[in-house]
Amino acid sequence: MKLRAFLAAIAVAASLGPAASAQEMSFFRIGTGGTAGTYYPIGGLIANAISNPPGSRACEDGGSCGVPGLVSTAVASNGSVGNVNAINGGAMEAGFSQSDVAYWAQTGTGLWEGQPAVEKLRLIANLYPESIHLVARKDAGIASVADLKGKRVSLDEPGSGTLVDAKIILDAYGLSEKDITPEYLKPDQAADRMRDGAMDAFFFVGGYPAGAIAELASQHDVTLVPIAGPQADKLRETYSFFAADTVPAGTYEGQDADAATLSVGAQLVTSADQPEELIYGITKAIYNENTQKLFAAGHAKGKQITLDNATLGAGIPFHPGAERFYKEAGKLK
């Protein structure tokens, strides 16, 4: 698919003849995630939005509002960690990452403990929130994070960002893995265990509504445990990649009230080595009025890719090109 996309772009440029030759063409690969996930289709929307091959119609004439001469492609990948490594190694120009993973990579902490920090990792945009869900059986007597003491709790699998987030959250409420009966399962496996009565609660990080939780809630009485109060406020002060979030009432069957929680951002990141003018143009194209309409129409999460969300929960430094755009737009001082 990748090769075909590149060849098609080259063929289009070649067919445009002299008009195209006056403009140099460059390629920009965006690492996304699995084709069944959210990163891949959103990445496709962004790649289309920032592309403006030689000879394209002008933005004001209903054509591309992207960067002149740029051809961008969304590339399927294994997600955040793989994308960060690909950017660091020069195999991708940009990629999607959860804000916590980006922070750990850039600082050499958390998941990156013991590995060289990816010090040149830079933020283009915070795209949309991925909410931290703490799901509990309704009859387990869990009304707050502190109530997890002595309970059977899945923290997600080893090597996952969710596991590190869950440990941080437990610690904020005075708990550790020693205070619970921890298990390390993927969310769908944890949901299966809960159905069987063998799990009291589990952590999940992702956009709502999450399929595994929606399915569980339709078959079993569950509750979303709030991650709120002074402990959550302190977490946001300590870890800049966390943002305040709410899962609205009615998102899941039986959820009668809003659930206050934290979120990490789905972010578009790049390398400090990318030219300032290029990243400025890409950022400007993403938040062009025409582009915003295409995002909203193209995917449910596209509605949340807004200028108001772009600088929330940053975690890592902005690329100078993106920073210049946000300052001009009044979103950064």
> What are 184-234's pLDDT values in tens digits?
998 889 999 999 999 999 999 888 888 889 899 999 999 999 999 999 999
- Whether 2-128+266-328 and 130-264 share one fold: the answer is yes
Bigger pLDDT: 4 vs 203: 203
Q: What is the pTM of this model?
A: 0.78
Task: Note if the bond before 209 is cis, omega within 30 degrees.
Answer: yes
Q: What is the pLDDT of residue 3?
A: 44
- The per-residue pLDDT for 36 is 67
Domain boundaries, the chain: 2-128+266-328, 130-264
| pLDDT bucket at 54, cuts 50 / 70 / 90 | confident
pLDDT of residue 161: 80
Mean pLDDT (whole number) for 106-131: 94
Residue with tokens 């909410």: 131
Q: Which two tokens stand for residue 172?
A: 């904020």
3-state helix, strand and coil shares in percent for the chain, rounded to the nearest 5: 40, 20, 40
Backbone φ and ψ for 73, nearest 5 degrees, come out as -130, 145
Task: Please write the tens of the pLDDT for every residue from 273-288.
Answer: 999 999 999 999 999 9
pLDDT for 181 beyond 90: yes
Calculate mean pLDDT across residues 116-137: 96
- CATH of 2-128+266-328 among 3.40.50.2030, 1.10.150.120, 3.40.50.10860, 3.40.190.10: 3.40.190.10
Mean pLDDT of the 144-153 span:
97
pLDDT at 16 over 50: no
Query: Is residue 160 predicted with pLDDT exceeding 50?
Result: yes
Tell me: pLDDT of 34 over 90: no
Question: What's the CATH architecture for 130-264?
Answer: 3-Layer(aba) Sandwich (3.40)
- According to the model, what pLDDT value does residue 280 have? 98
- The pLDDT tens digits for 229-251 are 999 999 999 998 898 999 999 99
Alpha carbon separation from 258 to 224, 251, 261, 317 (Å, rounded): 9, 9, 10, 32
Residue from 169, 168, 161 nearest 144 by CA? 169
Which residue bears the tokens 């020693």? 178
Residue 270 β-bridge partners: 94, 122
The kind and range of the H/E element at 30 are strand 26-31
The predicted pLDDT at position 23 comes to 57
Stretch 322-329: mean pLDDT: 98
